[in-house]
Structure formats: C-alpha cells, structure tokens
Structure 1
Amino acid sequence: MKILHVIQSVNPQHGGPIEGIRQQARQHKLQGTIVEITSLDSVDDNFLAFPNTPVYPCKLTFFDNIFPVSLLKWLKLHHSRYDAIILDGIWGFHLLASWLALRKSTTPYYIFSHGMLDPWFKNTYPVKHLKKWLIWPWAIYPVIRDAEALLFTCEQEKLLARESFWLYDCQEVVIDYGTEGIPNPEEDFSREFLDQHPQLDHKQVFLFLGRVHPKKGPDLLIKSISLLQKEGHWDPAKMQVVMAGPADSKYARHLVNIANKLGVYDSIYWTGMITGNQKWGAFQAADAFILPSHQENFGISVAEALSCSLPVLISSKINIYTEIEKCRAGLVELDDLHGTANLIRRWLALDQNQKSVIRRAARDCFEKRFHISKTSESINRTLLRGMIAKKRTHDLPG
C-alpha cells in the first residue's frame, strides 16, 4: 500500500502532527507500506529532508501564498499513484485544494483532525471562531462531508468535535494513536541530561515538557507551586519544576514574571527546547511528569513519559485521561489552580512503594495502548476498509 500525507508544513517546530507522520512512516515501512508527503513549504526550506520519506513541497509561486494552486495541480496529476491520501489538519487551504483535486477521483481521502475541532478553541477565542464560521460552510464542511472518514485519536476527541460547529456531517473513525517512545527503556539517559543541567542533580523534579502555550496551563503550574510553598508542601531547596520548552517567547517571559512576583523563581528551571537523548534523560531524571492542559486531543508527551515508566500528573482536559485512570498510570484532576496543586499534593503524599507500582503501570499502559505499532496497524485497517468500499461503489453498474 502507498499513502500520501498532505500537510501545511513539515517544519518540526509546528509540533505534534508532523512528528507523528515521521514516526508512522518509519513503522509503516516495517510493515511494507510506503509513505510520502506533500506540503505547502518552499523548495528551498531547510527542513525538508526526511530519511526514506519523500517530501514534495508545493509552494512554487507567489500566488501559492494566496491559494495553493500548485498543490491542486500536483494532486490532480499524481493522486492515482497512491492507494489513499490523508489530509492532516483542519485549518488551512491545503484542505480545500485537496478536495478540489480529489472529489471526482477514485482515490479515497481521509482527514486527521489533530484536535483542531475541540470546542475549547470556540469557548476561549470566540472572535476567532466567528471568523472560522466565514469559511467553514464552503471551505471546510464539504471537505469533511465527502471524506472517507474523519480520523480521531480517541473517543473523547470524537465526541467533543461534534460541539464546535452545528453544520457537521461526516464518517467518524477513532484510530489507535501512539508514539515510538524511548528507544531503549533499559538504557540510562538521565546522566547525560543531568551533566548538562547539574543544578537538577539530587532534586525531586516535576517535568513540564512541550510547547510553552497558555493552552497547556503552565501558569497554573507556577501558581500552584506558590500555593504549595505557602502550605509547607513545597521545599525549593529539594524540589524543582523543569520547564522543557522554548523559553524565548513573549508568553514564556510572562511566565518568568509571574514566578518572580509569586516568589517561586528559584523553583522553576528552564532548559529550553530539548530533543533526542536529552529529552529521554529529562523524563528519566524526573520524579513525575505534569501537564495541567486546558485542551489536548492526545498528548504525545504524555505517552512518551509513560514509555519511560514515568507517572503522569494530568488534567481531565487531556482526552486520554480515562485510559490513564484505567491503567492507574498517573493522577488526574481538573484544569484549575486547585486541581493542579492537588496533583502535586497527592503525589507527594504517596510512599516509595506506591510510586513504584505506578511507574510499572505507566510502562505497561504505554505498551498496551500507546505504542506506535498500534497506530500504523489501525490506520492500515481503516484505509483498507475504505479502499474496498470505494472499489465496490466504483464498480456498481450505471
């Protein structure tokens, strides 16, 4: 089988979707499936090199900045080379261009929503949501209506997607989503990380890893440390919150100011963005992973933490929280100040034997529910069913 992914950009700084595609491509290759990518990047962008995964950039002229005509033409010319096409993301004219190219073809296409239909965005940014309504009826709705399926990473994401727009009609399919996780769970990467950050050696680390964005609730984490310190539950000499994400944004500077005002600046340690062995070392050096997010359709970093046998302290707005609770692989609370502080309170109240049980459950949860092999197998099953259904429809007389 040969699959094409269509995405706005393959720039790794854009976060989860493209990293998921990269990992899926490696896993698909092991199963004999070929994956290729086309995007709205320029041919001279410096992030297009994907090992064993061809990338076809389709921003070829100035006019592609207005509407991706080059992508539309490319898909019309090449779509028959693929057994199925997956459109990644909802918001972007790559969706409309793909629909215009594929709607009369026999090549089935699918859409991965990647959490972009969560009603959190509607409720948090109502003005932006009104602007989205201006394009939804003619540029988005017809595309999801005509797709073989709209793909979701969990049941909760599927149910929430129905609440964003009343004009909504599509075939919904939940995919078993996952990630590769730590390359070798038996290898110790923590020393490499701690050698780079000796201030963290022998500290009880609560790790926040990911994009530093209001959606992920880092302000709640900083404010909860202030609250716990006043209660006597937080010892800044022995404990640290590690913020492993880009620290040079306006919002990151805002968080530093909050920490200063609340008197917990010394309890917050910024590593900047970390990848590879440094990332795995951070997971292994931590006592717990914490993410008090207001919205998360899946949470790749949560699954990565589980792969490192690291318990996860998360909000109930992360859509896989029910799986975490069933596996007893962490703790779950509301996405507010009380809930975030309570995550840490409850964790600190556990003894070492109780923590060890949760650590073993974390790795087990990853293996059973969130390993990348389950994603590629689930996608292949879904695409094969769609291909068979499309062929039957095409072969009908008349």
Structure 2
Amino acid sequence: MKILRVISSMDPKQGGPCQGIRNAIPEIDKYGVENEVVCFDEPNSEYLGQDSFKIHALGASKTPWKYNEKLIPWLIDHFNQYDIIVVHALWLYHSYATIKALLLFRKQNGTPPKVFIMPHGMLDPYFQNAKERKLKALRNKIYWRLVENTVINEADGVLFTCEEELLLARTTFPNYKPKRQINVGYGIQQPPQRKIPMKEAFAHTVPKWNGKPFLLFLSRIHSKKGVNLLINAYLRLENELEMLPQLIIAGPNNHDYGREMQALAAASPNILFSGMLSGDAKWGAFYESEAFVLPSHQENFGIAVVEALACNTPVLISNKVNIWREIAKGNGGIVKDDTEKQTYDMLKEWLSFDSLKKSEMSSAAERVYQDYFTISQAVGQFINKVQNA
C-alpha cells in the first residue's frame, strides 16, 4: 500500500499535523506501507531532505488561502501512483484542491484512490462559538457553505484522532454528511528514559526552581489554554494554604498575552515563567513535576498531555481536552470543567491527596499512555481502518 499525505507545509515550526506525520511514518514503515508527502514548501528549504520519506515540494503558496496553482495538475498526474490520499487540516487551498482534483480525475479517468480528510480538530464547535472569534467564525460559516462542506462530503471518509473529536464535529456546521466517520486514534513515540542530565538541563533553564516537585503548565501561552484560570486558582489557593508546590508555566511568553499573564502572576514568587522548553529541559520538566495542568477551553488531542502521561505524570485537565474520556476512565488524572472555580477545585483535590494516592495516580497515568496513546497502537489502528473503509 502507498499513501500520499497532502499538507500545506512541512515546516517544523508549524507543529501539529506536520509533526504528527513525522511521528507516524517511521512506525508505518514497519508495516511495509510506503508514505510520501506533497506540500507547498520551497524545494531548497533547510528543513527538507532530512526525513526518511519522500517529500514533493511544489514551491511556496500565495495569499492567506495558501493558493498554489501546481497542486491540482500534480495530483491528477500522480493519483494512479497511490492507494490512499490523506489530506491534513482544513480551511486552506490544499483541501479544496485535492477534492477538485478527485472530482476531475473521477470524471476523466474512472476510479481514483481513496481520499480521506483529517481535520485535526478544525471542526470543533469552539472555533465557531468563542467570543473572540466572531469575525473568523463568520468567515468559516461562509466558507463552509461555499467550499468546505463539499470537501468533507465528497471524501471517502473523515479521520479523527479520538472519539470526542468525532462527536463534536457533528455539532458544528449544517449539511455535515461525511460518507464515513472514522476514529483512527493518535499517538506519540515513547519518550526518552529519565536521566540526570534532564534534571540538570531543567534546573539550568529555570534557576528559581527550588528543586522540589511542582505543578507544570507546558503549552502555548494563549487565551484558549485557560492560563488565566490556572493562575487565578493558584493565587487563591496560595492565600488559603501554607505550603504549595511551585507553579511553572512553560511556553513562549514574549507577546502581549504572555506579558499579561506574567503581570497577573506577579503577586506570587512561586509562579515561574520558564519560556519555551525543549530537549532535555523539556523532558526534565515532565519528569520532575508532580502533575501536569491544562485547563484548556479547546484541545483536539493534546500532545503535551500525552507526553506527561508517558512520563508517569498525572494530568489535571479540563473536559475540553478531547482525550479526557480515556484519562478519566484510566484514572490517569483529574478532569473538571474549564472554569476558574473548577480549576481551583481540581488543584485543591490534587493537593489533598497523600503521597500514596499521588503515587497510584502516577502509575495509572503511564498505563493510560500504554493503553491508548502509543504510536504503534495508533498506526496499527490507522492502517486497519483506512484499508477496510
């Protein structure tokens, strides 16, 4: 079997879907399945040529829609080389172009390969309902009627990373009638084993860390992530309890919202902003923390959440993190609503646990990872379901 992935860019800075592709393909190779990618990157981009799979770079796109006139002709010329096409993400030219090419090929040449759309959370109702997204929501509503509902409904199926994403997608737009809705799962590679240099790298990066287990937020510092809920809940607890673990907020913070959150937290010497963590410092953060906290208003999968689970770190999350069902079922953490009161309750509940209870939940967190989110499980499920769709 040969699969073509269609995506706007493979630049690692884009994160999300392109990183998911890079995580999955080495595991897919073990099944004897060949993967290639077509994207709108310049062929001489420094981040290309380092992957084990072939990337067809068609050159830079134009306009905010990421238009590239080369994609439709390229797809029509190459469709016969592939068994399955997977389009990653929505709302940009590459998804429209793939379905347009599919319809043209079907009319001119007969049976094309199967085409699946993987929206990566982009059909979540949050993006239509959030107050700060009114103009973008209107744009999406119009674009859905003109273009995107055809993309979804003409494809052979829509692929979801978890059951919650699949269920939420049904509630967002009218005329949502995909031929198949398939939960293929998602996963991450096993993290590196815990080593002393990780702790040292983290301590070097966060010199005000007191060397004790702490609460960790590691994600983009964005209003969607509920950072303000976490800070306010922590400040309230600090006024009520004598001893609290430090709260370390890791993520790029040199922007307006990041500075706003630092100002909000300035009253507490126990809230530390580390900036973005990577490599040993990032893994040191996961391994040295006592719990990972993400009271997000919307999270399609939450790779950092799964990385925490894989490091035996319990997760304290909102029920807007779409993998909350699996975590709650496996007792790998605490799940509450995405409100300040519920975030406060979540932290207070965790802090009320004795060492035995925390240790039991730590072991359960790692089991949740092994039961649901390993890359081998996700890939095996993906191959089985797309082959039989």
Q: Give the TM-score taking structure 2 as reference length.
A: 0.92
Structure 2 residue aligned with 1:138: 146
- Taking the aligned partners of 1:49 and 1:254, their CA distance within structure 2 comes to 40
Tell me how many residue pairs correspond in the alignment.
Answer: 380
Q: 1:61 to 1:167 in 2, by over 3 A?
A: closer
CA contact (8 A) 2:41 2:61 kept: no
Point out the more displaced range, 198-207 or 246-255: 198-207
One-letter amino acid matched to 2:256: K
Structure 2 residue aligned with 1:272: 275
Structure 2 residue aligned with 1:300: 303
1:318-373 Cα offsets, whole Å, 9 max, x none, are: 11111111111111111111111112111111111111111111111111111011
User: After the TM superposition, which parts of structure 1 deviate over 4 Å for at least 4 consecutive aligned residues?
Assistant: 60-66, 185-188
SS of residue paired to 1:37? strand
Structure 2 residue aligned with 1:94: 94
**Is 1:191 the equivalent of 2:200?**
yes
CA contact (8 A) 1:194 1:285 kept: no
Taking the TM superposition and a 5 Å limit, the aligned residue runs for 1:339-350 are: 339-350=342-353
CA contact (8 A) 2:79 2:112 kept: no
Structure 2 residue aligned with 1:202: 211
1:20-51 Cα offsets, whole Å, 9 max, x none, are: 11110111112222222111223343333442
CA contact (8 A) 1:181 1:308 kept: no
CA contact (8 A) 2:188 2:373 kept: yes
CA contact (8 A) 1:315 1:321 kept: yes
**Is 1:14 the equivalent of 2:20?**
no
Structure 2 residue aligned with 1:29: 29
CA contact (8 A) 1:36 1:54 kept: yes
1:84-131 Cα offsets, whole Å, 9 max, x none, are: 111011121110111111232511110111111111111102332111
Structure 2 residue aligned with 1:396: none
**Is 1:374 the equivalent of 2:377?**
yes
Match of 2:286 among 283, 288, 291: 283
Taking the TM superposition and a 5 Å limit, the aligned residue runs for 1:70-219 are: 70-103=70-103, 104=106, 105-124=111-130, 125-170=133-178, 171-184=180-193, 189-219=198-228
Q: 1:306 to 1:63 in 2, by over 3 A?
A: closer
- Taking the aligned partners of 2:341 and 2:276, their CA distance within structure 1 comes to 28
User: What RMSD, in angstroms, separates the aligned Cα atoms of the two structures?
Assistant: 2.0
Structure 2 residue aligned with 1:227: 236
CA contact (8 A) 2:314 2:361 kept: yes
1:153-195 Cα offsets, whole Å, 9 max, x none, are: 1221111111111121102111122111313368873333224
Shift, 1:63, TM fit:
7.8
Q: 1:223 to 1:181 in 2, by over 3 A?
A: farther
**Is 1:327 the equivalent of 2:330?**
yes
Shift, 1:64, TM fit:
10
Point out the more displaced range, 185-194 or 164-173: 185-194
Q: 1:45 to 1:192 in 2, by over 3 A?
A: same
Shift, 1:259, TM fit:
1.8
SS of residue paired to 2:293? strand
CA contact (8 A) 2:65 2:93 kept: no
SS of residue paired to 1:200? coil
SS of residue paired to 1:341? helix
Point out the more displaced range, 180-189 or 94-103: 180-189
Taking the TM superposition and a 5 Å limit, the aligned residue runs for 1:246-257 are: 246-257=252-263
SS of residue paired to 1:156? helix
Identity %: 35
One-letter amino acid matched to 1:97: A
Point out the more displaced range, 360-369 or 124-133: 124-133
Q: 1:182 to 1:147 in 2, by over 3 A?
A: same
Structure 2 residue aligned with 1:390: none
Shift, 1:61, TM fit:
7.0
Q: 1:331 to 1:118 in 2, by over 3 A?
A: same
- Taking the aligned partners of 1:346 and 1:55, their CA distance within structure 2 comes to 48
Q: 1:61 to 1:353 in 2, by over 3 A?
A: closer
One-letter amino acid matched to 1:364: R
- Taking the aligned partners of 2:378 and 2:83, their CA distance within structure 1 comes to 18
Q: 1:61 to 1:232 in 2, by over 3 A?
A: closer
- Taking the aligned partners of 1:341 and 1:22, their CA distance within structure 2 comes to 37
CA contact (8 A) 1:42 1:57 kept: yes
- Taking the aligned partners of 1:187 and 1:112, their CA distance within structure 2 comes to 39
One-letter amino acid matched to 1:310: T
